[in-house]
């Protein structure tokens, strides 16, 4: 299957845009459903849409469904479970800091992705790529850390950084699962992996909530209209993330994904009424510079 070399970048930017919208929706759901409930929404209501994506692909083409071997399962389990933990930590951090600051802490993830990808997948990280990662990450740190701003803020900082680490492990796990299918068609590999991952996440969290917090499951059912749209946005964002993971290293994808910080600024300004400071503007310039260097190198 012949694929344009720049297609992964398009997939990543589209995914980052939809993920920003999904994060904002989940933030609003957290107040009524709690951290675990809002986390579950993206998986439970995202799964039906992932199933529709896969059925549409299978019925609309002659591509057969994959028959995953043993190599596939450890990777997809890692990707799915690490993402559950990462999302819960992200929403917990959002409850203690502003939307933009939380996203900024999460975006220290690319450095961790580069390390994990090199160790577990052997993904190459050139010097220009590492420079791009460091510049872009410095940008999000400039945006989030201000003089005296860290005083009394270690808890949300550590939660945000831990969430970024779990997202890094999840990204590497999902890329490993996609590659582990050994399919020539990257769209089928990405879509099938997405479906399996969401199924695992929906089942695990549904069982947990029914046993430990049945009232949360009832609250999720009552909020099904808002939850359905959040689930759709989550599934759509994940579909494009997985397509990007199928074509490029996890470090490249997650570094380019830092454009989400720019989208988050727009959401924060127009949805939450938060203004952009000169320091945050400088951080955005660094993010753009790092992203530009990455694309040029790739």
Answer whether residue 97 shows pLDDT above 70: no
Count up the domains in the chain and report the number.
1
Q: Enter the tokens of residue 240.
A: 């494009």
pLDDT at 244: 96
Q: Enter the tokens of residue 94.
A: 């959002």
Q: How many C-beta atoms surround the C-beta of residue 161 within 10 A? A: 16
pLDDT at 243: 96
Q: Which residue has the higher pLDDT, 174 or 110?
A: 174
Query: Is 78 inside a domain boundary?
Result: yes
> Alpha helix (H) ranges present in the chain?
7-44, 47-60, 72-94, 99-106, 109-120, 127-144, 154-180, 186-212, 214-222, 224-247, 250-256, 259-270, 278-297
CA–CA distance, 194 with 139 (Å, rounded to integer): 30
CA dihedral 16, 185, 232, 253 (to 10 degrees): -10
Query: Is 139 inside a domain boundary?
Result: yes
Taking alpha carbons only, the member of 109, 229, 221, 244 closest to residue 175 is 244
Could you tell me the pLDDT band of residue 104, with boundaries at 50, 70 and 90?
low
CB 122 within 8 A of CB 240: no
**Mind listing the pLDDT tens digit for each residue in 6-21?**
899 999 999 988 887 8
Q: Which residue has the higher pLDDT, 21 or 272?
A: 21
pLDDT at 101: 63
CB 279 within 8 A of CB 146: yes
CB 147 within 8 A of CB 180: no
pLDDT at 14: 93
Query: Is 241 inside a domain boundary?
Result: yes
Least confident of 99-113, 129-143, 181-195, 253-267: 99-113
Query: Is 2 inside a domain boundary?
Result: no
Answer whether residue 79 shows pLDDT above 80: yes
CA–CA distance, 39 with 29 (Å, rounded to integer): 9
Query: Is 1 inside a domain boundary?
Result: no
Q: Enter the tokens of residue 111.
A: 């450095």
Q: Which residue has the higher pLDDT, 178 or 280?
A: 178
CA–CA distance, 200 with 270 (Å, rounded to integer): 35
Q: Enter the tokens of residue 170.
A: 């999840």
Q: Enter the tokens of residue 174.
A: 């999902």
Answer whether residue 248 shows pLDDT above 80: yes
Instruction: Round to the nearest angstrom and report the end-to-end CA distance of the chain.
Output: 20
CB 216 within 8 A of CB 224: no
Could you tell me the pLDDT band of residue 151, with boundaries at 50, 70 and 90?
very low
The mean per-residue pLDDT over the stretch 158-184 comes to 91
Answer whether residue 215 shows pLDDT above 80: yes
Could you tell me the pLDDT band of residue 117, with boundaries at 50, 70 and 90?
very high
pLDDT at 257: 84
Query: Is 203 inside a domain boundary?
Result: yes
DSSP state of 97: S
CB 126 within 8 A of CB 294: no
**Mean pLDDT value across the chain:** 85
CA–CA distance, 297 with 238 (Å, rounded to integer): 25
| Range of the structural domain that residue 164 is part of | 7-297
pTM: 0.85
Query: Is 267 inside a domain boundary?
Result: yes
Query: Is 206 inside a domain boundary?
Result: yes
Least confident of 20-24, 98-102, 160-164, 291-295: 98-102
pLDDT at 145: 64
């Amino acid at each position: 299957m012949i694929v344009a070399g720049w297609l992964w970048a398009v997939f990543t930017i589209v995914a980052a845009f939809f993920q920003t919208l999904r994060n904002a929706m989940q933030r609003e759901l957290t107040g009524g459903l709690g951290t675990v409930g809002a986390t579950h929404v993206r998986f439970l209501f995202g799964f039906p849409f992932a199933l529709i994506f896969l059925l549409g692909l299978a019925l609309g083409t002659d591509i057969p469904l994959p028959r995953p071997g043993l190599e596939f399962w450890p990777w997809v389990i890692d990707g799915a479970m690490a993402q559950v933990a990462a999302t819960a930590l992200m929403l917990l951090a959002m409850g203690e800091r502003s939307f933009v600051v939380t996203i900024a802490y999460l975006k220290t993830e690319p450095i961790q992705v580069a390390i994990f990808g090199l160790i577990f997948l052997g993904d190459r990280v050139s010097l220009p790529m590492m420079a791009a990662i460091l510049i872009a990450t410095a940008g999000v740190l400039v945006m989030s850390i201000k003089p005296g701003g860290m005083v009394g803020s270690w808890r949300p900082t550590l939660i945000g950084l831990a969430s970024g680490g779990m997202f890094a492990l999840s990204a590497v796990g999902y890329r490993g699962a996609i590659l582990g299918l050994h399919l020539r068609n990257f769209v089928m590999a990405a879509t099938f992996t997405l479906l399996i991952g969401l199924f695992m996440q929906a089942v695990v969290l549904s069982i947990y909530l029914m046993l430990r917090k049945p009232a949360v499951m009832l609250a999720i059912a009552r909020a099904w209209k808002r939850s359905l749209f959040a689930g759709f946005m989550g599934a759509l964002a994940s579909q494009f993330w997985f397509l990007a993971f199928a074509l490029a290293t996890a470090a490249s994808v997650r570094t380019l994904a830092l454009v989400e910080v720019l989208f988050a600024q727009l959401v924060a300004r127009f949805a939450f009424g938060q203004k952009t400071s000169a320091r945050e503007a400088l951080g955005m310039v660094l993010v753009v510079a790092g992203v530009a260097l990455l694309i040029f190198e790739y």
